Amino acid sequence: MANFFTSSIGKKLIMSISGFFLMVFLIVHLGANMVSLSGAENYNAVCHFMDTNVIIQIMVPVLALGFAIHIFYAGFLTLTNRLARGNERYAVRNSGKASSWASQNMFVLGAIVLGFLGLHLYHFWAKMQLQHFIGGTATENPYELVTGLFRDPVYAVLYLVWIGALWFHLTHGFWSAFQTIGVNNNKWLPRLQALAKIYATLIALGFAIIPLFFLLGLDK
């Protein structure tokens, strides 16, 4: 078992499984965030449910563990691959379209995503859900917090840059995860690459609509 966690195949498989987990989370998180477009009452109600629901409170450390595992193995694979192959990146090289810009810059893209995620957690999660999790009181009204931040052009632009990095990260990570578990023949790989772009684009557009909605004052 120990050899599995240290072998190349084992590390890539763990990256794939944790990546699948996080991709499902993005769908759920996007759905909750989109409620903010319907007004304060609905969004505050959703936030209250997420802050106080026992199942979600249990899932918070599970989600954090998923992120930690994904980040740890991404860094570990990048380091070991660079030591073994010189300037080659973490991603598996493929011929044609599979060898994309995103596949060669997964670690950099991941670092951008992680950096803004920390900022996002500080502004939102730490002031709302974390307070309920540790038995405190939310320091901000959820809807007012969202509108206040996304009406700030600097924060909104940073958020859109993060979404761009996330799009590139997902376009490669989605099909690469399937490739790792063995779905990598000539028939399915192009389909998965197309599906990856569809998934990444829908996620990116969904998240991009939210800051633009408030930045342009469409909520008024």
Whether 139 is covered by a domain: the verdict is yes
Q: Can you read off the two tokens belonging to residue 70?
A: 């994904």
HSE of 65, CA atoms in CB hemisphere, 13 A: 7
Whether 220 is covered by a domain: the verdict is no
Q: Can you read off the two tokens belonging to residue 81?
A: 């691959």
Closest CA to 71 of 4, 15, 118, 128: 15
Taking the chain (220 residues) in runs of 10, the rounded mean pLDDT of each run is 61 77 86 93 89 79 79 72 55 46 70 79 75 65 90 92 88 76 73 87 95 91
Give the span between the Cα atoms of 155 and 58, in whole angstroms: 30
> Is residue 142 a contact partner of residue 44, using CB atoms and an 8 Å limit?
yes
Domain count, the chain: 1
pLDDT of residue 85: 60
Q: Can you read off the two tokens belonging to residue 140?
A: 């901000």
HSE of 92, CA atoms in CB hemisphere, 13 A: 16
pLDDT of residue 205: 96
- Strand blocks (E) in the chain: none
pLDDT of residue 216: 93
Q: Which structural domain, as residue segments, surrounds residue 136?
A: 9-91+101-215
pLDDT of residue 99: 44
Number of Cβ within a 10 Å radius of residue 68: 11
State the angle between helix axes of 188-215 and 153-180 in degrees (0 to 180), rounded to the nearest 10: 170
Whether 19 is covered by a domain: the verdict is yes
Whether 1 is covered by a domain: the verdict is no
Whether 96 is covered by a domain: the verdict is no
CATH of the domain at 44: 1.20.1300.10
Give the span between the Cα atoms of 206 and 190, in whole angstroms: 24
